[in-house]
Amino acid sequence: MNTRPATSEFDLIVIGGGSGGLAGAFRAAEHGARVALLEPHLLGGTCVNVGCVPKKAMWLAAEVAAKMKLAPTLGFPVQPAALNWPEFIVHRERYIEGIHSSYRRRLDAAGIVLAPMRAHLVDSRTVECENGTRLRARHLLIATGGRPERPDIPGADLGVVSDDFFQWRAAPARVAVVGGGYIAVELAGVLQALGSRVEMYVRGSHLLRGFDHDVVEQLTEDYRQSGVRICFDQHLAAVEPDSGGVRLRSADGSASDRYDAVLFATGRRPNSERLGLEAVGVATDADGCIAVNERHETSVEGVYAVGDITANAQLTPVAIAAARRLMDRVYGGSQAVLDQRDIPTVVFSHPPFGQVGLTEADARAEHGSEAVHVYRAAFRPMLNALADVPQRSLFKLVCVGEDRRVVGIHLMGEAADEILQGFAVALKRGITLQDLRETVAIHPTSAEEVVLMR
């Protein structure tokens, strides 16, 4: 593979080889552009190395552990065993290495020049690599993503963040998870299922702000039933060492018991420092995200940004879709922009929780309360009933108007992660409740509850 640019002149320079940068580089090359890609770390960025992919692997291991726990209740004469983490991680990392190899092959095949270096902007057409090499192009794409942020409190460095979680080789016996968003909920669920005793410290009064309230409440109850302790309205003031572990000090002066580890899942910061943005005049917002319009153009002509470096939803498919549409406009004559409404998303909790469209509260605010009609299916999935475990599923449809147009679908329960995608297509096509009711159910499944809702 060519790792030193043969020429310093390109059509496009992409800074960052994560989800957005790779997608942009590949699509531009398909249109015939000469592309250079700068990535100092592992190809695939957050998603492949410390995000979606290793997280999903751990989630799958946790799901197997949970099923094994049910097995004796159902009549299998087996005792659940603890996961051998180092062995599982060999499988996980082999899978990830397969993705790296596939990217390297595709970059070679597309003739994209990969420079394994950090870079910053010198002017709107010039990028300087950390070894001093300067590259020039008519168009620059910034896709440098973000990184986990710790709270600004004394002792914060005694805790770990999601990047560190993927270095773990065993489940800590007792762990505090600070935060109530996607990562906190996902990693708390994984750790509890894999044998840790998990306590969540949440600043607000609910998990998962922005998700539908009722469904969040049911997920919270399911988590509690599976043994996760959840403490709301927690205001942490410090982390302190305690006999080889840590304890948490609250703003009211009280201290927690000892934990083997504290995991901060308190949000992410965009990687916009030391990129030369101010010098070139690329505007950022108050959080440090690069400001872009719907065409992903920055304040400087010819300089674009996609993915977590912008204020768009921090999801891999959003970064990829934005980058592809951008390159189709720049090199393919397309005018299409990414529609940021009705983006489906799944929290890989236990059970998983997916949503597309408006929550009930958002629908009431947008359409007026009288126009909103809500339908729910609360049920115990068959496996849970057979094994007599208490966790319940909750599916919810939010509809508006006389014709009951479906504007929100919220699914929390077994297989919700896989069920949602098809219904997201339907919602985007503007279906009504009647369309769902006219669709024959698939029985016996959880999914059928969506078309049987009254």
Ligand X SMILES: Cc1cc2nc3c(=O)[nH]c(=O)nc-3n(C[C@H](O)[C@H](O)[C@H](O)COP(=O)(O)OP(=O)(O)OC[C@H]3O[C@@H](n4cnc5c(N)ncnc54)[C@H](O)[C@@H]3O)c2cc1C
Helices (H), 111-150: none
Select from 348, 353, 395, 423 the one that contacts ligand NAD (CB under 6 A).
348
322 lies in the binding site for ligand X (CB under 6 A):
no
Beta bridge mates, 41: none
Asked if 359 contacts 211 with a C-beta cutoff of 8 angstroms, the reply is yes
308 lies in the binding site for ligand X (CB under 6 A):
yes
Smallest gap from residue 40 Cβ to ligand X (A)? 5
275 lies in the binding site for ligand X (CB under 6 A):
yes
357 lies in the binding site for ligand X (CB under 6 A):
no
Asked if 48 contacts 96 with a C-beta cutoff of 8 angstroms, the reply is yes
Beta bridge mates, 240: 247
Give CA separation, 16 vs 20, 142, 235, 260, 392, in Å: 8, 7, 35, 35, 42
E-state strands within 174-333:
174-178, 197-201, 229-231, 236-242, 245-250, 261-264, 268-270, 303-305
Site string for ligand X, 109-148 (x = CB under 6 A): ---------xx-----------------------xxx---
226 lies in the binding site for ligand X (CB under 6 A):
no
Select from 194, 346, 356, 447 the one that contacts ligand NAD (CB under 6 A).
346
Smallest gap from residue 277 Cβ to ligand NAD (A)? 22
Q: What is the CA radius of gyration of the chain?
A: 24
Query: 361 by DSSP, 3-state: which?
Result: helix
Select from 5, 10, 13, 18 the one that contacts ligand X (CB under 6 A).
18
Smallest gap from residue 384 Cβ to ligand X (A)? 24
**Which entry of ligand X, ligand NAD, none binds 181, CB below 5 to 8 A by partner kind?**
ligand NAD
CA-CA distance, 196 to 204, in Å (whole number)?
24
Select from 45, 179, 189, 357 the one that contacts ligand NAD (CB under 6 A).
179
By beta-carbon proximity to ligand NAD, the closer residue of 209 and 437 is: 209
Select from 268, 324, 396, 410 the one that contacts ligand NAD (CB under 6 A).
268
Smallest gap from residue 443 Cβ to ligand X (A)? 30
What DSSP line would sit under 173-213, residue for residue? SEEEEE--SHHHHHHHHHHHHTT-EEEEE-SSSSSSTTS-H
Select from 181, 189, 344, 413 the one that contacts ligand NAD (CB under 6 A).
181
What does residue 371 show for φ and ψ, rounded to 5 degrees? -80, -10
Smallest gap from residue 432 Cβ to ligand NAD (A)? 28
Asked if 426 contacts 398 with a C-beta cutoff of 8 angstroms, the reply is no
**Which entry of ligand X, ligand NAD, none binds 385, CB below 5 to 8 A by partner kind?**
none
Count Cα atoms within 13 angstroms, Cβ side, for 4: 4
Select from 10, 103, 166, 182 the one that contacts ligand NAD (CB under 6 A).
182
186 lies in the binding site for ligand NAD (CB under 6 A):
yes
Give CA separation, 264 vs 129, 163, 167, 417, in Å: 32, 10, 15, 25
CA-CA distance, 356 to 353, in Å (whole number)?
11
Ramachandran class of 78: left when φ > 0, alpha when ψ lies in -120 to 50, beta otherwise:
beta
Active site residues: 443
154 lies in the binding site for ligand NAD (CB under 6 A):
no
Helices (H), 17-51: 19-30, 45-50
By beta-carbon proximity to ligand NAD, the closer residue of 97 and 287 is: 287
* Among 135, 121, 141, 146, CA closest to 22: 141
316 lies in the binding site for ligand X (CB under 6 A):
yes
271 lies in the binding site for ligand NAD (CB under 6 A):
no
Select from 27, 162, 321, 399 the one that contacts ligand X (CB under 6 A).
162
Site for ligand NAD in 282-321 (CB under 6 A): 313-315
User: Could you tell me how many residues of this chain bind ligand NAD (CB under 6 A)?
Assistant: 23
Select from 107, 140, 171, 183 the one that contacts ligand X (CB under 6 A).
183
> Which parts of this chain interact with ligand X (CB under 6 A)?
15-21, 38-41, 45-47, 51-52, 55, 118-119, 143-145, 162, 183, 271, 275, 307-309, 314-317, 319, 348
> Which parts of this chain interact with ligand NAD (CB under 6 A)?
151, 178-184, 186, 203-204, 236, 265-268, 313-315, 345-348
